[in-house]
Amino acid sequence: MSSTAAATATPPTGSAPQDEKKRKGVGKVLYRVKTVFKRGGRPKKGAEAEESTAPTAVVSEPTAAPAASPKPKIRPELENATKIPRIQIHEERAKKLGARFGLEIKPSEWHSSEGDVYRVEKDVRMRIHRECHRCHSAFGAGNECPNCQHRRCKRCTRTPPKRTEEERQALREKRAIQVQKNQFNAPIIPSYDYSEKIILKKPRKTGQDLVYKGKPRMRIRRHCHVCETLITSNAREARVCDNCGHRRCGDCPREPSDKKKYPYGYPNDEPGVVFKGVYACHECKRKFPPNTEDGAECRVCSHKKCPDCPRVKPKKVDPEPDPEIMEALRLRLAALKTADT
């Protein structure tokens, strides 16, 4: 019975090739892939024998150390090559980019700067193209034309043409002049150091430099109207007199005085005794005349001024145009219209 069961459980060895012959095309490929995966999942016969013969004590032993990884191949020394650190190359590139575009580049943030590299010093070479003088075809790597099999000769054109000795001497002199010019006119390297005070100057033909100066500004002074003491700049934020402790108000004189630009009072001033400020009606937003007492009626809504009427914030106001100037301008425009007609 055991032999018959084994025979029925495992198919004959020749059945797999016969099934493979019956399949064609994509089915044949899929069948091969399926059989490969099945074989990979099954343990080998040698492994089964070792597991069956090994005692149980071997299982408890620690696993062996993994196989050592293969050592990387050491690159052989190149001919005429020098080994330099990689950070040196990145620093040279960052320096050139910074001098050209005015940037600050850190090589460590640009690329990995670990390890060494090989540098080979080679002469500058120029690619030369030759053309057949018979069929005007370009030569390849060899000396024979690929089109007409003509052997390259002196009549075949050369690009760029070969320089004569006079042209070479002129080129040397030109390079020497350029090197001498670069020594006097060195490239400008940008500097971002603002520790020293920068003075803007403009050269003058007479030899005296023109120094830039800002627009002239007028110093504004405020005096306390109680003790007539100058309110210093140290108390500017507090706006309090250092002598008597009076807080700056609308009665404190200003030098120079400019009531036309500030009709509602100077900014950051408290209401004074003489100039109490300008208030507005809280119903129609109409402004009362300066120093109006409580109880005065509004010209628009007949509302009497009350404590709820807010004070107009002191601010700079453009002065109204002079009526005499506006009238003269109107007459001049009218005269121009009559002249055109």
> 3-state DSSP call for residue 128?
coil
Write the pLDDT tens digit of every residue in 235-280: 556 688 888 888 888 889 988 888 888 888 888 888 888 888 888 8
Check residue 170 and give its pLDDT: 93
Q: What are phi and psi of 130, to 5 degrees?
A: -125, 145
Rounded average pLDDT over 43-64: 45
Can you tell me the distance from the alpha carbon of 141 to that of 151, in angstroms, rounded to the nearest whole number?
A: 13
pLDDT score of 329 more than 80: yes
Rounded average pLDDT over 281-286: 86
> 3-state DSSP call for residue 174?
helix
Rounded average pLDDT over 36-59: 48
pLDDT score of 334 more than 60: yes
Check residue 135 and give its pLDDT: 92
pLDDT score of 79 more than 50: yes
pTM exceeds 0.75 for this model: no
Q: What percent of the chain has a predicted confidence (pLDDT) above 70? A: 70
pLDDT score of 198 more than 60: yes
Write the pLDDT tens digit of every residue in 130-172: 999 999 899 988 889 999 999 999 899 998 888 899 999 999 9
Check residue 46 and give its pLDDT: 47
Write the pLDDT tens digit of every residue in 4-43: 444 444 444 445 555 555 566 556 666 665 665 555 545 5
Q: What are the strands, taking DSSP E only, across the chain? A: 81-85, 116-120, 129-131, 157-159, 201-202, 210-211, 221-222, 254-255
